Chains A and B, each alone.
Chain A
């Protein structure tokens, strides 16, 4: 764009009088004069020389050298191990080594990318149903935690393992052996799940806070009879 056709105003130091004269001299700049805030003014000598802004940017970069380093050294410093972290979904293994899952298939149904595949089976234990095979394709899983939310048995929860990489797609198909995790390692997340999803439940029962869990809602302290559903 040539200087004649560019909508450029005179420098601000020139004042309103010269702006008005520019408007009278060149009618096609009238819009620029009427609304000078949105149009660029002509460059001042300092801006044309480029030295001032250049030194300013250098000074900013240089001053960063004395500020605190914000880099997190990943392989050594992992992410903060919060229970709210969405990681890989895992199955809860009870103290006797059996999965909590009763193979109802709700998570399989709700899973948006259809990453879960369950084959139900029967056992002789008091809880008669169990998954014969429970497979999650970790390359499909989007870690949305819908499965955890829908699970009536608190059998599938999100763990805090979040970096899963591999060289073959077969390595990402996790079966029951790889998915089961002892309940002792998942206590924090289960307590977080109870606390969070109960908040959305308008029909929350006073007997819901469990005795075995880590978290007990202080609002129900002393008012409820603890019931362990498991």
Chain B
């Protein structure tokens, strides 16, 4: 009945599946390296751990070209407005990884100067434990984000409609 019946060599797909597949395998991170987590982030793109195996090695230092913001380190209230402005400059759809306990919850710093979790100012998609997290943990966070993108529709917000096979 469908195209695949007439032409068995043709594979059909939905546009939302195709776009989601392309998005999740070509994440361009915006590194917001604020403290020691940034060192582990640099190690992650190095040859030993090699984040490019997941298509996410192109660290763009311009938010206009980035998909995912990796907040790596202690975010102070003084830096918070800058972080929010950088996030606002990123084109949609965009995601945020909170790397390490400082970015996720404030961590060790329970004081007036540090933002208790970047989810106060940014919509965080994946939280990461560790002080700092090992490169393995950041890779795991990227994989978790890929899983999340795979569940989203083409606008990057709504959940993707399931496929009904008759």
Contact = CB atoms under 8 A, between A and B. Distances in A.
Contacts, number: 89
A41 interface: no
Given A75-B143, A78-B136, A169 B104 contact: yes
Contacts of B49: 71-72, 74
A199 interface: no
A59 interface: no
B125 A167 contact: yes
Interface residues of B, number: 32
Contacts of B104: 139, 169, 172
A163 B140 CA distance: 7
Interface string A40-65: 00000000000000000000000000
B84 interface: no
B115 interface: no
Contacts of A172: 104, 127, 129
Contact of B137 (A72, A144, A163): A163
B93 interface: no
Contacts of B125: 167
Interface of A: 70-75, 78-79, 88, 112-114, 137-144, 162-169, 172
Contacts of B144: 165-167
Interface in B97-151: 101, 104-108, 110, 117, 119, 125-131, 133-137, 139-141, 143-144, 148
A112 B141 CA distance: 25
Q: Which of B106, B125, B127, B128 has the most CB of A within 10 A?
A: B127
Given A71-B49, A167-B144, A140 B127 contact: no
Contacts of B129: 88, 138-139, 141, 164-165, 172
A114 B136 CA distance: 26
Contact of A165 (B101, B127, B131, B135): B127
B31 to A, nearest CB: 18
A74 B133 CA distance: 14
B105 A162 contact: no
Interface string B25-54: 000000000000000000000011110010
Contact of A142 (B131, B136, B143): B131
